Amino acid sequence: MRYFALAALLVGCNQKAILGDPPAAAVPPGTSFEVIEAPKQGGTQDTGYWPNLLVNHGVLTVAYCDANLGDAKVARRGADGTWSIETVESKGAVGKYMAATLGPGGIELVYFDQSRKTLRHAAEGVVDKKPGWVFSDIATDKEDLGISGRFLITTKGERLFVHYNTRNELLLSQADGSAAPTWTTQKLATAGGVYNIQVDLGFDKAGRLLIVYPNWAVSRSTLYQGVIANLKAAKLEEELQFRKVDEEGIAGLKSGLVFIPEAPEIVYMASRGGVLYSAKLEKNEFVKQRLLGNVANFSATGMSDGRLAVALQVGRSEGLGEGALHLGVREKSGAFKEYALDEARPVGQYLSIAEAPGKTRPEITIAYYDGVKKALRLARIP
């Protein structure tokens, strides 16, 4: 096995669960589960780390790392419900910290080549007059790059990837929309505890880049929303402007930037008990709402019908990586409800959520790592 789960994600937390939350409701009617890829060696080898769930012209697609083989892979769901698995790159130990998004020519990936200590970019394109993957190197370092990263492509085809290195530096790698991109990487800020956190990015209505990230000190963390108005600036670290979102202990352990449908909202974890919050900017100040306690991991998305959907690994009090898979849904009315999806435990250490077309309203889909079966699975909630 070429990859090991990040130690900081697996460190036990013996604190009591946050009390006061109502019990989770049963699995929503019509929910279905599928195996995307299962280990081929008696269920003892891992696959499905760092999944990125995308909906490409209605086709459910998941980019992920086969942690046993050390391969970067893409799985596509056919109309008959079967999954086809494509190995994008297998030379060396590749696919670590996988991030994916949809570009003008198809799926594009960013991942760490652990063998070469190089951050890689792969895009669907044409190779020798045939469909294939076009590769480029983003940056090389003596240590890891691409930690906790988020990948975004602008309407002009420009690529933006915000990530960390092991020296606690928040970096922005960017390239133009050419078929053979040339990448530049600049430091944006310094923060600590990078193995525990997750950053996110997106654009506001004014076209400014928003970056949600924590500045983690030894005793506490402050979550910020950074703003970059000019991505062409010579020194982006000086260009970055930021506003405090929350400074509760360990704010921003995980964070996500969602748009419902266009208004930006920050979903994040804070405190040692794993409390999940959302925050909106109102009159130049972020106003937060408590959603749930005892959360170990999450992935959030804004739905086109105005709902907030959050894939949750709950059970932080039992130890990180040891929880169950739940779903949290905040309706347009503001009411938040939690549903139990998969109680096998441990499941959901790695997960990704996305909206897909549904029969009567948008469908919620969740790709997640099943730690019991060592497999990559999909949950579909109508």
SS3 318: helix
Task: Kindly report which listed range (29-33, 85-89, 303-307, 321-325) carries the lowest average pLDDT score.
Answer: 321-325
138, 150 contact by CB (below 8 A)? no
**43 vs 322, more confident:** 322
What is the structure's pLDDT at 253?
Answer: 84
Determine the Cα–Cα distance for residues 194 and 169; give it in Å rounded to an integer: 9
Determine the Cα–Cα distance for residues 346 and 299; give it in Å rounded to an integer: 17
163 Cβ contact list (under 8 Å, min separation 6)? 97, 99, 110, 119, 145, 146, 147, 148, 149, 150, 170, 171, 173, 199
pLDDT for 5 beyond 60: no
What is the structure's pLDDT at 9?
Answer: 36
In sequence order, what DSSP letters do the residues of 103-163 get, joined into one string? ETTEEEEEEEETTTTEEEEEEEEEETTEEEEEEEEEEE-SS-EEEEEEEEE-TT--EEEEE
82 Cβ contact list (under 8 Å, min separation 6)? none
Determine the Cα–Cα distance for residues 305 and 332; give it in Å rounded to an integer: 8
Domain ranges of the chain: 1-57+294-382
> Is the alpha carbon torsion for 251, 253, 258, 264 positive or negative?
positive
The Cβ of residue 122 has, within 10 Å, a number of other Cβ atoms equal to 23
Alpha helices in 5-74 (DSSP H): 7-10
Determine the Cα–Cα distance for residues 245 and 71; give it in Å rounded to an integer: 37
Determine the Cα–Cα distance for residues 275 and 341; give it in Å rounded to an integer: 19
pLDDT band, residue 20 (cuts 50/70/90): confident
pLDDT band, residue 6 (cuts 50/70/90): very low
DSSP code of residue 15: P
In sequence order, what DSSP letters do the residues of 261-276 get, joined into one string? SSSEEEEEEETTTTEE
Q: What is the average per-residue pLDDT within 189-196?
A: 74
Q: Which residues pair with 293 in a beta bridge?
A: none
Token pair of 84, please? 């086809």
Bond before 346 cis per omega within 30 degrees: yes
pLDDT band, residue 320 (cuts 50/70/90): low
pTM to 2 decimal places: 0.94
Closest by CA to 120, choosing from 105, 99, 104, 106, is: 99
DSSP code of residue 19: P
What is the structure's pLDDT at 179?
Answer: 84
Alpha helices in the chain (DSSP H): 7-10, 236-239
pLDDT digits (tens, 9 = 90+) for 161-177: 999 999 989 999 999 99
Determine the Cα–Cα distance for residues 103 and 50; give it in Å rounded to an integer: 19
pLDDT digits (tens, 9 = 90+) for 46-75: 999 999 999 999 999 999 999 999 999 999
Closest by CA to 174, choosing from 153, 205, 146, 201, is: 153
